[in-house]
Structure 1
Amino acid sequence: MAVITTTRRSERFRRTTPPTCTYWLAGRCNRNPCRFSHSSPTLPSNAYYNGNTTYKHSKQPTNCASKALEKPANRAPMAVVSVEKPTKCEPMAMSDEKITVCGLEAVSVEKPTKCEQKAVLIEKTADVEDVDTVVAKAPVEKSRSICKYWMTDTCVHGDLCQNLHSWFYGDGFSTLAKLHEHKKAVTGIALPAGSDKLYSGSTDGTVRAWDCNTGRCLGVINLNSEVTSLVSEGSWIFAGVKNAVKAWNIQTGADFTLDGPMGQVLSLNVGNDILLAGAEDGVIYAWRVSSDPKAESPFELVATLSGHTKPVVCLAIGCYKMLYSGSMDHSIKVWDLDTLQCTMTLNGHSEVVTSLICWDNYLLSSSSDCTVNVWVCTEEGILKVAYTHTEKNAVLGLYGMTDAEAKPILFCSCKDNSVRIYELPTFLERGRLFTRQEVQSFEIGPNGLFFTGDGTGLLNV
């Protein structure tokens, strides 16, 4: 009868206890509350000892429970107890019959070699006198992937999550400030030389001025049109909007509108005393400072550079007074800034050319085809790809600077909301930045400072 009674109790216990969550066991359950149990499954009622002092267990105990448990004499039945991960394991108080393990009472065991900070679950059935195994879970090893649930503030694992809950990892870099006033993506950052202000443009239709010392927003310029590019030259700030380029002089406060472009102005650059704007219609527009002191605008449109068949996404100024333009037509064109004529067309990408930077005698280009090409000039004066670096996701932008040891560092913004940090020319990874949305703008500052703007409107220092 004792066996029948025990069996019925076990059956009733199994009916009232929900099954253990398999996702919780794998450390991936994100439901709170979860309709399954978040505790180790209870052993069946036939897990009795076999006539000696050693119990049969489905898993071998580890660390704090590394020895076989001895059968307690005349011990009162105990209920199932589930304990979360303790913050610190207290020293073990030894006695003849029992010990205290991380603040929990358990039966007598031999002294373990080490009590680590691990989650301890002790389960004991109410209808049998034996004690189940003490299960110790090993610390979760961190992967190098950002937690997608943390990105949306829904991760329930906290510090136990196997994925990263961080904005950054790597050596030699740290986050100083986060400026979050823009409502939409930050698409341009400008730091005028000799100024103590930082300027940022956004698709929310505003340009904001920030105090570089306090991080406070000092002013907002409402343009009522998406800002898709921003550059500075001397005392001038230029913002690319739809069908125009807006210009402000930060010393005099004068502002002007440069008409001419058709569609959204996606890229801006200044070289050889020429303001260049790449537009949605595939044309590059060029302005010079007007020689007429009585002109309404201090800038005059001097040329339109046609050749691309789709929008011009990026512009870069290189040595020998050369302009490089990247387009959605998958090509890179090389222009002579003295004659404003196209001298070469480069076809090294199979998707949109997203970014261009010039570094010494090298040209680096990125594309939605997940590659970064390093171009060098041959003796014949032709640019050829010397090396191709491949990413797992589309590359959105390239930005370069030197570290404290004067080593060239390349920042590579990718579609997976990360920025890879590489040491050139080896492309050895130095670290990564993580953002909730993709980084769309970047700017280098003095004393090793750099700024990133992402799709949420956050400006990081």
Structure 2
Amino acid sequence: MSTSRKPGKITNYNFPKRGRARLQCTNIVEGHSKAVLALHATDDYLFTASKDRTVVVWDLRGMRESQVFGNFPNSVVAVKYDPQNNLLFSVSSCYIKVWDIRSSKAIRTLNSQGNSTSWSSQSTNFESTNLTINAIALSENSLYTAVCDRVRVWDLRKFSVVGKLLGGHQAAIMCLAVSPTDTGEDVVVTGSKDHYIKIFNVGAEPGLVVTPATLEPPHYDGIQCLALRGETLFSGSRDYVIKKWNLDSHELVTSVNAAHRDWVTDLCCSQ
């Protein structure tokens, strides 16, 4: 844990009246010394990952900073929380640190080559030969990690790689979305710099999984983010476009051109 910083704070924000605006800022969270790169939230916690090489856990019930995790090799670019096992997954460079938030300790280190080690002081000797992890996604006992143009499937009960998704992307996979099905499979969606989106059906024993579908038409630039809700998928791209897809039919429902005046870097669907 990091101790060389002032505790962060959550403060109330008294916003000016703006008619019937549907979104109003109610609180401001302050504590990082550099830009925040990723967020993950539950009813009880907010997790923030930053260029300052820390992850901060915020208690949304008590409205205060709860924990700080540090000792990362570089900026922390992704963070996910598994409430079932109280595990926090944080990505920096070619490593994923797995934290038990009950003890505030790192319990495992996973790397982009598919290796897993228990946490020790030697884990801070990061190697520069591994490839950067671009994205992660969780689904019950599975962790999906995107490295270059492929995705590894990890069994979180063993912290070991049990499969790979081979989708034929021609460039790096930059984002992932996962949704469990009633049949026990995971629907895994990948978005790449090659402008394409691919869909995988991953069973209990994945092994090598080849994509059954590619969504057409592609974006005009690299895909930066995906949001999946039921059979509806949203994709955002460097081409400033947001697309809505039907995963049952694999068809494009609608496309919002010039949704922003710059890259669409993240999307989120309400539950």
TM-score (norm 1): 0.38
Tell me the equivalent position of 1:439.
none
Match of 1:258 among 138, 153, 165: 165
Tell me the equivalent position of 2:135.
229
Tell me the equivalent position of 1:174.
64
Asked if 1:192 corresponds to 2:99, the answer is no
Residue pair 1:200, 1:230 contacting (<8 A) in 2 also:
no
Q: Which of the pair is proportionally richer in helix?
A: 1
Tell me the equivalent position of 2:201.
288
Query: Aligned pair count?
Result: 192
Tell me how far apart the structure 2 counterparts of residues 252 and 184 of structure 1 sit (CA, whole Å). 27
TM-score (norm 2): 0.63
Q: Return the index of the structure with the highest Cα Rg.
A: 1
Asked if 1:206 corresponds to 2:206, the answer is no
Deviations 1:245-280 (A, max 9, x none): 121001144413322333222111113531011111
SS in 2 for 1:315: strand
Counterpart of 2:191 in structure 1: which amino acid? G
Deviations 1:36-85 (A, max 9, x none): xxxxxxxxxxxxxxxxxxxxxxxxxxxxxxxxxxxxxxxxxxxxxxxxxx
Tell me how far apart the structure 2 counterparts of residues 315 and 296 of structure 1 sit (CA, whole Å). 24
Residue 289 of structure 1, CA deviation: 2.2
Asked if 1:350 corresponds to 2:261, the answer is yes
Alignment of 1:4-403 (within 5 A): 173-202=63-92, 204-223=93-112, 224-255=130-161, 256-260=163-167, 261-271=169-179, 272=181, 273-290=186-203, 296-297=207-208, 299-306=209-216, 307-318=218-229, 321-347=231-257, 348-359=259-270
Residue 290 of structure 1, CA deviation: 4.7
Residue 328 of structure 1, CA deviation: 0.4
Tell me how far apart the structure 1 counterparts of residues 255 and 220 of structure 2 sit (CA, whole Å). 13
Residue 217 of structure 1, CA deviation: 1.2
Q: Which of the pair is proportionally richer in strand?
A: 2
Residue 171 of structure 1, CA deviation: 11
Counterpart of 1:337 in structure 2: which amino acid? L
For structure 2, the residue ranges without an aligned partner over 5 or more in a row are: 1-27, 35-55, 113-129
Residue pair 1:246, 1:258 contacting (<8 A) in 2 also:
yes
For structure 1, the residue ranges without an aligned partner over 5 or more in a row are: 1-143, 152-166, 361-461
RMSD of the alignment, in Å? 2.8
Deviations 1:317-354 (A, max 9, x none): 235x2100000001011110111111110122221111
SS in 2 for 1:177: strand
Tell me the equivalent position of 1:396.
none
Tell me how far apart the structure 2 counterparts of residues 182 and 252 of structure 1 sit (CA, whole Å). 23
Tell me how far apart the structure 2 counterparts of residues 181 and 262 of structure 1 sit (CA, whole Å). 34
Tell me how far apart the structure 1 counterparts of residues 62 and 158 of structure 2 sit (CA, whole Å). 39
SS in 2 for 1:181: coil
Counterpart of 2:237 in structure 1: which amino acid? S
